[in-house]
Amino acid sequence: DADVTQTPRNRITKTGKRIMLECSQTKGHDRMYWYRQDPGLGLQLIYYSFDVKDINKGEISDGYSVSRQAQAKFSLSLESAIPNQTALYFCATSDSVDSTDTQYFGPGTRLTVL
Amino acid sequence: AQSVTQLGSHVSVSEGALVLLRCNYSSSVPPYLFWYVQYPNQGLQLLLKYTTGATLVKGINGFEAEFKKSETSFHLTKPSAHMSDAAEYFCAVSPRGFKTIFGAGTRLFVKA
């Protein structure tokens, strides 16, 4: 089984709808991240969490919110989806014991907002 | 501030030819440097990383990268491309393990 899982893998929704993307990990890592990937832009950090009570905004947090329900679970919400949030979304984890911040990624969620 | 620049959004090579993907970085502190690979419909996975010590780093699938401090570069190479190497490659910099920054990515095409 995969160490980092994301659900759903694909989602099509309409403008104005609330959407939640979920991420679970079995790696026992304390740090979790949400990124979005757009062609030609690489990965942009949306939010990151260094433990359950430590949540921080990344470079493109506007229009997004997160919840760290447990060490193993980190969900991303789009309160009112808009078309320019159409992208590939990745969850990642890392271990604070590893000083290099090597990250481990889920398979991604492809979100389309019509 | 830290940044990563990958030269060339697309690189095309013939099977058996040398692969060279270029990455330059800026960092205010000695960085950790990474290459990640993304195969179609998959997440990113670590290819190799430089932390300290030997500047030539070997990774999976025959890839290697050399840290050149004077040139602020961390280029990725493979002597002989294989069709299975077709993927997108991301260079990343982590200033002492805090808030990794990713480059825009380079898509590698391998021609038969």
Q: What is the pLDDT of residue A4?
A: 96
DSSP B85: G
Which DSSP string corresponds to A3-62? SEEEE-SEEEE-TT--EEEEEEE-S--SEEEEEEEETTTEEEEEEEEEETTEEEE-TT-T
**Strand pairing report for A109-113 and A87-94:** antiparallel
Rg of chain A over Cα atoms, rounded to whole angstroms, equals 13
| pLDDT > 70 fraction of chain B, expressed in percent and rounded | 99
Mean pLDDT for B47-70 is 93
Q: A43 and B102: CB-CB below 8 Å?
A: yes
Which residue among A42, A100, A106 sits closest to B43, beta carbon to beta carbon? Answer: A106
Contact between B36 and B103 under an 8 Å Cβ cutoff? The reply is no
Whether the predicted pLDDT of A94 surpasses 90: yes
The pLDDT tens digits for B20-30 are 999 999 987 87
Q: How many CB atoms lie within 10 A of CB B101?
A: 22
**pLDDT the model gives residue B30:** 79
Contact between chains at B43 and A90 (C-beta distance less than 8 A): yes
Residue A1 has what pLDDT? 58
Per-residue pLDDT tens over the stretch A38-91: 988 889 999 999 999 999 999 999 999 999 999 999 999 999 999 999 999 999
Q: At residue B97, does pLDDT exceed 70?
A: no
Q: Is the dihedral of CA A84, B104, B2, A71 positive or negative?
A: positive
What is d(CA A65, CA B60) in angstroms, rounded to the nearest whole number?
36
Write phi, then psi, for A94 (nearest 5 degrees).
-150, 165
Q: What percentage of chain A exceeds 70 in pLDDT?
A: 98
How far apart are the C-alpha atoms of B1 and B102, rounded to whole Å? 13
Of A92, A101, A108, the CB nearest to B97: A101
Under 8 Å between Cβ of A102 and B34: yes
Q: For residue B5, give the chain A residue with the closest CA.
A: A42
Find, among A56, A59, A55, A29, the residue nearest to A42 by Cα.
Answer: A59
